Structure 1
């Protein structure tokens, strides 16, 4: 019987754990899948977003019930930067780490762009932003998945604090002491993939680092290309089992 592995998937900003609705079936029954909602998102929309609270949510998801299972931690966009930050604080705790659409250094012009987007979203208001996202997901996703995401709702209140944390705290060098395999996945057309090589070089203590590009994938590739994303994550599951069996 395959060794159970806990896989923690952390969603991107505005979304929730619902974005991973298809992954239980794709990763299989021998994976203990955990999809927490970050503060100010999903079931935690009433909670203010703070960096410390978000890392605490991830920590609880990783530890689970304390059964000692090897853990693969993966995050998309905001979730990827938070996963990296958690791994930097616990560099020996994980059996695998995956950053999905989170390999751009958030400073300079890119940081200014995201701060500007956050201000625009705030001015537009919740209703107009929700309708815009509904239209986007209706166009990009299968009807059933779009319905699940829309039902879970969107989180806008935490965006300024969340991305301010990313921009002021997150750098590739945070990977330097992480001792597990590291996977860097990005869509071919993903704006947050531009410095993947720098992130790969920074993970100097990892036994291996692999970069994966999803053909024709946008920044939302974990939603639009779940099979390709799950296949990449499966490499970390296999690696986790191999390391534990030694």
Structure 2
């Protein structure tokens, strides 16, 4: 039998663990898929978002299973930056690290872009933003998945604090001491892929670093291209099952 692997999947901002609804089936048996909701999102919408609270949720998800089972930590967008931050504090703990749509240095023009988005969402209000996201997901996703995401709800309150944390704390250098394999995945048209090479170079202690482009993918490619994304993640699962080099 294949060695069991625990895969923790962290969602992007505004969304929830529901975004990963198809991944348990795609990753297959002997893979324990864990999809926590971050503070101010999904089932935790009533909790304020703080960087420390979010990292605590990540830690609980990573450490919540059998300690003998290797853990792969994967995050999309906000979740990717949090995954990198957690890994930087526990550089030898993981069997694999996947950053999806999270390889733009969040400073300079990129930071200005996200501050502008946060201000726009504040002006539009929750109802209009919810309707806009509903329309987007109705267009892009199968009906069943779109319904799951809408039912889980959107987390808007935590956006300013979440992206302020990303912009002030997260840099490629956080990967410097991480020893596990590192996988960088981005959509072909993903605005947060622009610094992938810098992130790859920064992961100088990693067992290996690989970059994957999901063709025709936007920033939401984990939702719209689940088979391509799961195929990329399978590299981390396979690596986690291999014995570490002496």
Question: Normalised by the shorter chain, which TM-score bucket?
Answer: over 0.9
List gaps (5 residues or longer) in structure 2.
none
What's the secondary structure of 1:206's corresponding residue?
A: coil
Structure-2 separation of matches of 1:94 and 1:194: 26
What's the secondary structure of 1:40's corresponding residue?
A: coil
Structure-2 separation of matches of 1:183 and 1:192: 15
Structure-1 separation of matches of 2:244 and 2:19: 29
Q: Structure 1 segments of 4 or more deviating over 3 A?
A: none
Structure 1 equivalent of residue 171 of structure 2: 171
Structure-2 separation of matches of 1:119 and 1:143: 30
Superposed displacement of residue 161, structure 1: 0.1
Structure-2 separation of matches of 1:92 and 1:191: 30
Structure 2 equivalent of residue 2 of structure 1: 2
Structure-2 separation of matches of 1:178 and 1:208: 10
Structure 1 equivalent of residue 102 of structure 2: 102
Going from structure 1 to structure 2, the CA distance change for 1:92 and 1:245 (only over 3 Å counts) comes to closer
**1:23-172 alignment, distance < 5 Å:** 23-172=23-172
Structure-1 separation of matches of 2:37 and 2:101: 18
Structure-2 separation of matches of 1:64 and 1:239: 21
Structure-2 separation of matches of 1:182 and 1:132: 34
Moved more, 65-74 or 106-115: 65-74
Structure-2 separation of matches of 1:180 and 1:164: 27
Structure-2 separation of matches of 1:105 and 1:6: 28
Superposed displacement of residue 152, structure 1: 0.4
Instruction: Assess if the C-alpha contact under 8 Å between 1:8 and 1:62 holds in 2.
Output: yes
Structure-2 separation of matches of 1:29 and 1:15: 26
Deviations 1:129-182 (A, max 9, x none): 000000000000011110110010000000000000000000000000000000
Superposed displacement of residue 123, structure 1: 1.4
Structure-2 separation of matches of 1:170 and 1:92: 19
For normalisation by structure 1, the TM-score amounts to: 0.98
What's the secondary structure of 2:145's corresponding residue?
A: helix
**1:156-235 alignment, distance < 5 Å:** 156-235=156-235
Superposed displacement of residue 122, structure 1: 1.1
Aligned residue pair count: 246
Instruction: Assess if the C-alpha contact under 8 Å between 1:98 and 1:182 holds in 2.
Output: yes
Superposed displacement of residue 220, structure 1: 0.1
